[in-house]
Amino acid sequence: MEHRYLGKSGLKVSAITYGNWLTHGSQVENDIATQCVHAALDAGITSFDTADTYANTAAETVLGTALKGQRRESLEIFTKVYWPTGPMGPNDTGLSRKHIMESVNASLKRLGTDYLDLYQAHRFDTETPLEETMQAFADVVRQGKALYIGVSEWTADQLRAGHALSKQLGFQLISNQPQYSALWRVIEDGVVPVSRELGISQIVWSPVAQGVLTGKYKPGAELPSGTRATDVAGGANSIQSWLRPAVLTGVQKLVPIAEANGLTMAQLAVAWVLQNDNVASAIIGASRPEQVAENVKAAGVRLSERTMEAIDEAIGDVAERDAAQTAANAPKTRVV
């Protein structure tokens, strides 16, 4: 397993991070979830990402149980705060000092650890002063509850403002967690250049575009049963925009490229995001242990310039590149 520095910090993370969004505590039985985590460990993955909102806190509990007994110092455990949790009362969401302080304590308890390696703002909170949020994160670090601070889906301007405050307050803002794949490239023109300037790395989610880049969805064909596209509770609504014929046709053009490189389609997709030098790690999920073992083979793969060009030609104009999409998809007010 390849390991990369996260931002300008001294923290190294595995190039593949195991994440449990939409699986642990909901789609996948706990024993299978534990098997997937152990498969990740066996494959050399040391970084694990979750969030308090996943399965309304249950995902953190499942991950903590699965990691029980492992040497804590050999792991990098990430979680996030922002979205509603618990009974979803008026203070059970957002990035207020109250919610951050209560959430970090609850996450530590569920994960069974004394500290987090990375604590992340799951979105930008437009209704709380940024100074309040960053001061709370500074205190979380000083109290030893988190070693580093990151964010998720922040715009270039938000990253710049947050980074400036973190420097003033004496802690490091070292990462951003955006969606990124060969089909979703909105971070390339704004977020990535600013992040390189500030010393912030990307930990990217959905590198296989929620399974679309595996090639299992064929243009004009029925959706395979048991897949995310047919599971209303497992993300069917969020995947719909990728099921357009033009997108699926472009994805099928990637099949010979993957074969020529001796890779599965999923491995090609993960290897593609890891070619970006601002990407420290790609998050993969799994509903079966064997999926972890296969996808982790993308770590360390170097795609040639010719292969990267061929991927661009295959995808063509169906890839979303508009930098404004990060802000457009962000919550304008808190969800309660």
What residues are labeled active site?
54
- DSSP-derived 3-state class of residue 14: strand
One-letter amino acid of 303:
L
- C-alpha 173/C-alpha 100 separation (Å) is 16
Q: Answer whether 14's CB lies under 8 Å from 2's CB.
A: yes
Quick one: residue 69, left, alpha or beta (phi over 0 = left, psi -120 to 50 = alpha)?
Answer: left
CA distances to 24, 38, 78, 193, 253 from 150, in Å: 22, 26, 9, 17, 36
Residues near 334 by beta carbon (within 8 Å), at least 6 away in sequence: 93, 94, 125, 127
Quick one: residue 206, left, alpha or beta (phi over 0 = left, psi -120 to 50 = alpha)?
Answer: left
Pick from 321, 230, 316, 288: which is nearest to 38 by CA? 288
The token pair that represents 148 in the structure block: 């580093």
Cross-strand pairs, 317: none
- DSSP-derived 3-state class of residue 184: strand
